[in-house]
Amino acid sequence: MYKAQNVTDTPNNNTIFMVWNFKEVLELNDSFERLCALIINLNNTAQIRSTVNKASIVLGIGYNAWINLKLPAPLPKELIEFQPIKGEKHIAVATNGDLHIHIRANNQSYCMDMAGEISNILNNVADCTEEVHGFRYWDGRSILGFVDGTENPQGEDRDYFGIIGNEDERFKGGSYLFVQKYIHNLTAWKSLNTKEQENVIGRSKADDIEMSDEKKPANSHSALANVGDDLKIVRDNMPFGNIAKNEMGTYFLAYASTFSTVKKMLTKMFIGDPVGNYDRILDFSEAKTGSLFFCPSIPMLKDFAG
């Protein structure tokens, strides 16, 4: 019987995203084993200590880390080193990531404590190249003012689209994780009136109603980020930012049973459909990172922990 990590939990009020890259040290395997054991322990403890906080941690492992740690071969079928997707104007960049940590909790204290425990293990063997503190903005909106994740699968569909099933028995219960850190040009965005912003997104701003196919611009976000009802991903995007530095953004995070679904979406957004008809939101949101990870099932994490 397989059991997945908490990849399909619903978004919480507070999140910490961390990307770690290993140093070349002899203690690497021992530290990784301790990390896997800690992830399991912290998830169990969170469920016992306070169910209302809905605290959880998900560990993702990158392609290079999987190879260097000598984890089971062959690798998950679609775990690769992500390559940039270059459109005529915008690029989905590729950045290195050995481990991804996704911490969620209604109470920020849980996030901080769990991030601290993980850092205690990893600091001597890895560098943290990204640490992003996300927060819930009003009724699940991005900093751009529109509701984020309306097309997310609900109920049992979250497991169906977010977790590997019988199609890959060896890695059943696992999930592909793709992340990007977007920085928004809020000055340019706010120069648009509400109607112009709605045309970029393809939905109404106040009540989050999707435009009809006849009215929706072909280069709107909702038109190009959707690759079909039978090809969905589980998004757990969160806003983040530094107001004083005017650096506000969205941490895009997608769990999926197949990475090919995510790649199709990125291709439509950045290259366009047809070519050149790219997602207009990219004129206001720049992808600064892009990394692919694999999130093993709980039984596999236990095997890694030794």
What is the per-residue DSSP string for 56-95? EEEEEEEHHHHHHTT-SSSPPTT------EE-SS-EE---
User: How many CB atoms are located within 10 Å of the residue 188 CB?
Assistant: 10
Q: How far apart are CA 90 and CA 87, in angstroms?
A: 5
Q: Pull the structure tokens for residue 45.
A: 């403890």
Q: How far apart are CA 217 and CA 280, in angstroms?
A: 10
What is the per-residue DSSP string for 151-210? T---THHHHHHHS--GGGGGGTT-EEEEEEEEEE-HHHHHTS-HHHHHHHHTB-TTT-PB
Task: Output the CA torsion 31→306→292→114 (10° steps).
Answer: -60
Which amino acid is it at 259? F
* Cis status of the peptide bond prior to 74, with omega within 30 of 0: yes
Q: How far apart are CA 174 and CA 257, in angstroms?
A: 8
Reduced 3-state DSSP string for 259-306: HHHHHHHHHHHHCCCCCCCCCHHHHCEEECCCEEEEECCHHHHHHHHC
Q: Could you say which of 30, 98, 127, 148 is catalytic? A: 148
Angle (nearest 5°) at CA 273 between 269 and 278: 40
Is there a catalytic annotation at residue 148?
Answer: yes
Q: How far is CA 257 from the centre of its chain?
A: 13
Q: How far apart are CA 132 and CA 274, in angstroms?
A: 34
Known catalytic residues?
A: 148
